[in-house]
Amino acid sequence: MVGATITRRVEPLILHLASGDLAIDPPVVLAPMAGITNAPFRTLCRQQGAGLFVSEMVTARALIERRPETLRMIQPGIGEWPRSVQLYSVDADAMRAAVTMLGKEDLADHIDMNFGCPVPKVTRKGGGAALPYKRNLFASIVGAALRAAQPFHIPVTVKMRVGIDSDHETYLEAAKTAADLGVNWVALHARTAEQMYEGKSDWSKITELVEHLKPTGVPVLGNGDIWSGRDGVAMMEQTGCAGVVVGRGCLGRPWLFTDLAASFAGNKIQTSPSLFEVRELMFRHGQLIVEYFESEERGCRDLRKHMAWYLKGFRVPSELRRQFGMVASLAELRTLLDSLTEQPYPVDVGEKPRGRTSHSRPVNLPYGWLDDPDEMAFIELEDAFSGG
């Protein structure tokens, strides 16, 4: 993928908002990630050039029950617009009520629906990547969201995986159903739920979906293994997708969005911040996250997971890395950061895979889930899980 260049004009994505059409340029979306894409992290990515930035996944039921933590999770950062919320539900009525609530209370400008989460806590209830297998249930939930969103002119999109496993691929049929119902776009993570985050994503599936949806006019966004600006260009060139969704590649590297924007504009120069530049971004992240949680203790506890990602590839003594992983206050973070030695950015390591590397495993499904794809099976209502 080194040296990949755009050979066609990169058109902006169009999001049909209540206030009018919004051109997302560059066509780059920050993927929702559990425990990661809260308002502070979205702010950092927004400042680096992300075109659209989606909240952590929240359950429809937790939202309509007005659980305080769920309401916090959809809280936008200062100046954040459009406000993009990702919803998960296994029940059409709950989805309808949640979308109606977001519309009536003016809490969102865009709604993304999760049909791609592979974690057992979600799939064992028939949610996430498991749900599109039940084609009637899938259609009823997507349809309910679209009908509820229509009076408020809120655009609805869907994000999905290839399927449950290689024997139960659902993406072509499910995407066509969603397109026919009227979604704004379909985003595809080119792995099955069984694959989790193992190996390479199969971009050929994105190509197939682009061709499959061409008659509908609904755009396809690609997701999976975008670690550099060049990767984003390569995905668009190889698959014909209309935009890219970036997840793990921006962990500890929010400037990846700057690189993507540059690459789409034909600029081959990529961002290579020194360690001192990275440390200031780390401290700014700490300040934002403490403000967000209104608690230094909780904010720093949440920040700890980001430390290894920011420092990936830099020469940092193991004891100092351990201390970063236990940081408990902004003052301690400042002291640790000031003890670092200036170094150039480790490009060879910095642009390699990071984040979740789960090995493939059988998907945890409700009993009898695969017996009949047309059955509107009873499903236990989702709990307060808000991530994925």
Hey, which residues are catalytic here? 117
State how far the Cα of 31 lies from the Cα of 11, in Å rounded to an integer: 20
The three-class DSSP label of residue 140 is helix
- Residue 225 tokens read as 């293994």
Tokens 């979906």 label which residue?
Answer: 209
Calculated CA dihedral for residues 198, 202, 203, 209, nearest 10 degrees: -120
State how far the Cα of 168 lies from the Cα of 324, in Å rounded to an integer: 43
State how far the Cα of 286 lies from the Cα of 333, in Å rounded to an integer: 8
Is there a contact between 77 and 53 (Cβ–Cβ < 8 Å)? no
State how far the Cα of 125 lies from the Cα of 163, in Å rounded to an integer: 16
| Greatest distance between any 2 Cα atoms in the chain | 61
State how far the Cα of 215 lies from the Cα of 238, in Å rounded to an integer: 20
Query: Is residue 137 classed exposed, middle or buried when 0-12, 13-18 and 19+ CB atoms within 10 A define those classes?
Result: buried
Tokens 């499904």 label which residue?
Answer: 365
